Amino acid sequence: METPTSSSPAATKRAPRAAAASGWFGSALEYYDFFIYAQAAALVFPSIFFPKGNPTVAIVASLATFGVGYVARPIGAFVLGHWGDRHGRKNVLILCMLMMGLSTFLVALLPTYSSVGVLAPALLVVLRLIQGFAVGGEISGASTMIGEHAPPGRRGFYASFALQGVQAGQILAAAVFLPLAAILPKDAFEAWGWRIPFLLSVVVVIAGYVIRRRVDETPVFQEEKAHDATPKAPIVLAVRENGSDMLRVVCMALMNVVPVATTVFGATYATSKAYGVGMSTTTLLWISVAGNAVAVALIPFVGNLSDKIGRRPCIIVGALSSGALSYAYLWAISQGDTVLTFVLAMLMWGMVYQGYNAVFPSFYQELFPARTRVTGFAVSQNLGTAITAFLPTLYAVVAPPGTNVPLIVGSFTFGCAVIAAIAAFSARETFRLRTEDLGVKTAEPLAREEYDRLRTAVSA
């Protein structure tokens, strides 16, 4: 029996699936690391890494350390995007995984403020910077790896698995905290229980390395390398040739404001004594799990929908709808209505937000040519998310206890959504472009009949 070669039909069918599986598992494991920090910053860190005299100051400081990770992301995107465009998509993804796993594991070993004083939050910030640096190359690298392996007419569907992995990682992050927060007494949870999810990062490093080592480099990058077409300075070329598209991605990436409002500030608003809403930590963790479970189920369907009707309609509707629902979600929290908060989280975060979230992994990479794809995607996306990173800290300042928090925070969220929708509307549609024509502004899309024929042939 003949063993399939890299060019055989069996190998051709396997490659997109293997790349999607690698992107899914890698993103899930890496974002598990990133989001256990987010959960801890909202629920635990204010009381153990900062002075306890003023709870409002402690909340602001803890959320600021969360935001620091996003500041490091553009730097990581610049370095790791350069690496991905110069040395390969596969290599950069392995490097991201190793850095993220090690820095997260070390958080578990940190002393508290009561033990070493100001050194504790200083070390926390350093490790968060490393986390942010590492994650800066993850989504762009994983999405590009999957998209460049994807068959014709299916890039949206396959690339969406990278974001499905991200949502799964958030479920894992919340799910690990759930039994610990529910079973352990508060003193035990704050003393040592919170460290367990961080210690489990050892598993992340091992599993991620094994999974990603088994995936082949993309044919697109191999072609670039074979013709010595990889640029020496991808960021310079990306800005010169696709600067306007980078700006569009920065603006669209402001949609990170929705998960910030939901999982970071929303958790603080609902559980902190300063705001006085009084929801339990366990309740908020379950809300996060439920919303993300809905997202995991929907993401491939939305990715597939974008292959049928286009990227722009999905992103515009998803952005405006989820931004508008933020008012209702935060109002439900302010009323202490657990059931309504649960329902709105699933509707806003789990469902309509996926119009943006499931589609941006394919859309962003399709705006750039192969030689600068990882860099253009990574740098511009992470600049946009960095802008939203300190919004929880800003919210704690401009919407302190006693103010109309849903109106203030909801308005910031919806404003960012409007900017993202306008940016998407101004971009060119990319879903019917050939992979080799991506990033070429003069390229003509396939005729609808030819495109549908190719999609049907792949699905057969």
- pTM higher than 0.75 for the full model? yes
Is residue 72 in a domain? yes
pLDDT reported for residue 422: 98
Distances from the Cα of 330 to the Cαs of 39, 268, 358, 400, in angstroms? Answer: 18, 11, 23, 14
Is residue 194 in a domain? yes
Is residue 417 in a domain? yes
Is residue 224 in a domain? no
pLDDT reported for residue 5: 40
Instruction: Tell me the mean pLDDT in the region 334-341.
Output: 91
Instruction: Tell me the mean pLDDT in the region 134-146.
Output: 86
Is residue 227 in a domain? no
Is residue 261 in a domain? yes
How sure is the predictor about 4, in pLDDT bands with cuts at 50, 70 and 90?
very low
State the total domains in the chain.
1
Of all residues in the chain, the percent with pLDDT exceeding 70 is: 93
pLDDT reported for residue 12: 57
Is residue 66 in a domain? yes
370: DSSP letter = G
Rounded to the nearest 5 percent, the helix, strand and coil shares of the chain are: 80, 0, 20
Is residue 101 in a domain? yes
The 10s digit of each residue's pLDDT in 179-194 is: 887 788 888 888 888 8
pLDDT at residue 280 greater than cutoff 70: yes
pLDDT reported for residue 3: 38
How sure is the predictor about 67, in pLDDT bands with cuts at 50, 70 and 90?
low
What mean pLDDT value characterizes the chain?
85
Which range marks the domain in which residue 361 is found? 18-214+234-459
Q: Where is mean pLDDT largest: 11-25, 263-277, 310-324, 393-407?
A: 310-324
pLDDT at residue 2 greater than cutoff 60: no
User: Residue 192 belongs to a domain with what CATH number?
Assistant: 1.20.1250.20
